[in-house]
Structure 1
Amino acid sequence: MCGRTCLTLDPDQVLCACKYPNEKLQDDAKQQKFATPEWRAEFNLGRRYQASYNIAPTDITPVIVSAAHFAEAADDQKGTDRIVMPMMWGMIPPWHKGDYRKHGLTTNNCRLEHLMDSKLYRGPFKRGQRCVVVCEGFYEWQTTKQAKPSDREAYLLYVPQEADVKIHDKSTWSPSNVKLLRMAALFDVWQDENGDKMYSYSIITFESTKIMSWMHYRMPAILETEQQMNDWLHFKHVSDSKALAALRPATGLQWHRVGKLVNNSRNKSDECNKPFEAASKPEKPKGMLAWLTGNKQKLHQNKTTNDEVVIKEETAKRSVDEISPTAAESAAKRTRCAPIQIAPPALKSEPEIKLESTES
């Protein structure tokens, strides 16, 4: 499954990192040339993408789609057939009315096994609304060990990089040489009562194979090759069955353990993706100062308990895949290529999201 990601690039840098080989640009010498996707900004009810070391469901992130979804971009002169556009993580049910954040369903992940039986996901899939979520890596908590949810070890998983590239250290790479992790997803378009649109997506997951089963029983559908990318994105030329066949378990992943900072989605520090051993450790106070500091921290913890993310059991109380149409209706009624330094954004005023489950 996938409940948190990391992407610290601005829009121009995302485009640079998403360059891809394009046959339309090949010359007579058959030298491979690369195309750069176009960035398509959408209103999305005023929400914008913000680079972050700790991205959570309901955040806005860059997503790759086929240009064929937009007539004006399908046959442009630049030769690109891919578009990168911001979308909200967590598909909004099209039948939902009211606040888009209050539909009551957990939709950040979509189970591949139930895709064709789901009222929410079957429609977007049959309409060819396939997309690819890009990030530097995703966070996962180890559930195979006996431990309280708040004590589970967190890991950052990412694509194998060149020997001198350390994904957690931006001084060792640039958008032109980093390898982003690419996850298959489905998207849909929701409209509010004023007709304003919000694009949103769900990441596809399936049962973990050996590469991740030691950590968690589910894993996202990761696209490792350009052929898989093309088969998943080109909905006008690739059948549904062939597109599904492109969703194979990843054969190469790397990871390292991270600290507990990532447990709370309000924490946007660049320490979130650092290896656990390298994470900065505050110096312990001594003597009377230690006693006073300890009491102060206890009082603070009592006041902020409700702000802490508690990662609960993996079985969701209400899963989109198990929802019947009748139940669903009832629910409805209720630079360019240079690294940059990301400053932690101001805390959002929205309430903290508690991860009941990251699986639908």
Structure 2
Amino acid sequence: MCGRARCTLRVEDVPKACGFQHSLPTMNAELYRPSYNVSPGSYMPVVCKQNTATGKEPVVRCMKWGLVPSFTKKNEKPDHFRMFNARSESVHEKTSFRRLIPSCRCLVTVEGFYEWKKDGAKKQPFYIYFQDERPLVFAALYDTWDDLEGGVLFTFTILTTRCSKALKWLHDRLPVILGSKDTIDAWLNDLSSLTFDMVTQPYEASDLVWYPVTPAMGRIQFDGPECVKELVLKPEKKNSIAELFLRHSTPAKLSAGEICNAEAVEDQSDISADDLSIEEQKALLAAIEPDKEPNKEVLPSIKEEHLLEQCGAKRLFDKTDNDNQLVSQEYQSGKHRSSLDPLEEHSSPFTEVQKKKSKSNVTKDGQQTILSFFGRN
């Protein structure tokens, strides 16, 4: 694919770029505007054969890049981005191109062209040119279209082929570059001297070179020598294994607030001393008891303390639950009621438990048991 090019040649220099030893007649040269960033829809100097009194002679005619077939309706607005390239492998199959091959072949000259390297969402343009800076000559086809005003518009399309081996890393298509006098003459004058497939082979010579340029030239409005100024690409920084682990590991210094704050750290509810280093445990102890110097041998295990607290709470819950079950059974059986104290009929089960506990320290004959001494202050 070729959608941008540099064409700053003077019209009078085009014949020489195509191998002619003499000047050629020019037509519509006033429409041409040299540019470092030519795109479809722009006028460019093209060498083609034109009927004259003495036969078909080569001329330089300025045409618009982007083919508009002659059968396009006169009231239709031309779309030059629709056919600015033509695949050489399939031009014989498409009506828009097949009828042009016998007599509408032409040559397009540029100093270089641009291709983009895609890297995900990022696109980096590269400028491709001949190492000795001679112009490149592309194989092209042209056509004419009559508009409503009676004017005749000359347009052309650049043929493309598969990419060369040296540039496969950049793109899968390249323009058909006519790199020798024989291929130029065959394409413009007599295609029978060489087969179509021979002329449209990818250019494999090593003098086709490239370098990266500014992405700003992706805008059509961006023009000037800055388009072809070499851009020094910064090497991509590759993360080492150590950096990868550091990025995902726990920070070396954590405050107690950072450790305890479950909102700041994802799922920190199960943090224990086993999950922290010695330094992190010291930092945690320093936050809890600032005046006490932490000792490595007596550093507590947060996990063990957490388990002890859970066990203590469980014992307390189990004891209370057992008492409640006992009271509930007695309450249902009516054993909690006493005929000597009618007020006890309105007492709660928890009050009955407290009374039972207070009486448990006294024997049936009224003597205090040994357990009663442990309850004295």
TM-score tier by shorter-chain length is 0.5 to 0.7
Task: Report the secondary structure of 1:70's partner residue.
Answer: strand
Letter of the 1:247 counterpart: T
Given candidates 260, 265, 273, the residue that maps to 2:220 is 265
> Residue 31 of structure 2 contacts residue 43 of structure 2 at CA under 8 Å; is this kept in 1?
yes
Question: What is aligned with 1:245?
Answer: 198
Residues 268-320 of structure 1: CA distance to partner in whole angstroms, max 9, x if unpaired? 12100111139xxxxxxxxxxxxxxxxxxxxxxxxxxxxxxxxxxxxxxxxxx
Letter of the 1:64 counterpart: V
Letter of the 1:41 counterpart: M
Question: What is aligned with 2:179?
Answer: 224
Does 2:164 match 1:209? yes
Task: Report the secondary structure of 2:204's partner residue.
Answer: coil
Letter of the 1:139 counterpart: Y
1:135–1:113 CA distance, 2 compared to 1 (3 A): same
1:64–1:243 CA distance, 2 compared to 1 (3 A): farther
Question: What is aligned with 1:147?
Answer: 120
User: Where in structure 1 are there 5+ consecutive unaligned residues?
Assistant: 21-34, 76-80, 162-166, 168-178, 279-360
Q: Within 1, Cα distance between the matches of 2:52 and 2:129?
A: 34
Question: What is aligned with 1:12?
Answer: 12
Question: What is aligned with 1:48?
Answer: 31
Question: What is aligned with 1:90?
Answer: 66
Task: Report the secondary structure of 1:219's partner residue.
Answer: strand
Equivalent runs, 1:314-333 vs 2, <5 Å: none
The alpha carbon displacement at 1:191 in A equals: 1.0
The alpha carbon displacement at 1:216 in A equals: 0.4
Q: Within 2, Cα distance between the matches of 1:270 and 1:73?
A: 42
Q: Within 2, Cα distance between the matches of 1:108 and 1:57?
A: 6
> Residue 65 of structure 2 contacts residue 80 of structure 2 at CA under 8 Å; is this kept in 1?
no
Question: What is aligned with 1:70?
Answer: 51
Equivalent runs, 1:99-248 vs 2, <5 Å: 101-103=77-79, 106-126=82-102, 128-143=103-118, 146-148=119-121, 151-161=122-132, 167=133, 179-234=134-189, 237-239=190-192, 242-248=195-201
Q: Within 2, Cα distance between the matches of 1:226 and 1:140?
A: 26
Q: Within 2, Cα distance between the matches of 1:270 and 1:259?
A: 11
Letter of the 1:250 counterpart: Y
Q: Within 1, Cα distance between the matches of 2:79 and 2:214?
A: 32
The alpha carbon displacement at 1:7 in A equals: 1.3
Residues 201-224 of structure 1: CA distance to partner in whole angstroms, max 9, x if unpaired? 111012213122110011111000
The alpha carbon displacement at 1:114 in A equals: 1.3
The alpha carbon displacement at 1:195 in A equals: 2.6
Q: Within 1, Cα distance between the matches of 2:215 and 2:18?
A: 30
1:112–1:212 CA distance, 2 compared to 1 (3 A): same
Letter of the 1:48 counterpart: L
The alpha carbon displacement at 1:9 in A equals: 2.4
Task: Report the secondary structure of 1:271's partner residue.
Answer: helix
> Residue 18 of structure 1 contacts residue 36 of structure 1 at CA under 8 Å; is this kept in 2?
no
1:191–1:38 CA distance, 2 compared to 1 (3 A): same
Task: Report the secondary structure of 2:89's partner residue.
Answer: helix
1:103–1:55 CA distance, 2 compared to 1 (3 A): closer
> Residue 96 of structure 1 contacts residue 103 of structure 1 at CA under 8 Å; is this kept in 2?
no
> Residue 38 of structure 1 contacts residue 83 of structure 1 at CA under 8 Å; is this kept in 2?
yes
Q: Within 2, Cα distance between the matches of 1:264 and 1:248?
A: 31
1:51–1:259 CA distance, 2 compared to 1 (3 A): same
Q: Within 1, Cα distance between the matches of 2:178 and 2:74?
A: 35
Task: Report the secondary structure of 2:14's partner residue.
Answer: helix
Question: What is aligned with 1:57?
Answer: 40
The alpha carbon displacement at 1:116 in A equals: 0.9
**Higher relative contact order, chain-length normalized (CA < 8 Å, sep 6+):** 1
Residues 299-351 of structure 1: CA distance to partner in whole angstroms, max 9, x if unpaired? xxxxxxxxxxxxxxxxxxxxxxxxxxxxxxxxxxxxxxxxxxxxxxxxxxxxx
**Alignment RMSD (CA, Å):** 2.4
Task: Report the secondary structure of 1:115's partner residue.
Answer: coil
Task: Report the secondary structure of 1:113's partner residue.
Answer: coil
Q: Within 2, Cα distance between the matches of 1:99 and 1:108?
A: 21
Q: TM-score, normalised by structure 2?
A: 0.57
User: Where in structure 2 are there 5+ consecutive unaligned residues?
Assistant: 234-377
1:216–1:201 CA distance, 2 compared to 1 (3 A): same
> Residue 15 of structure 1 contacts residue 39 of structure 1 at CA under 8 Å; is this kept in 2?
no
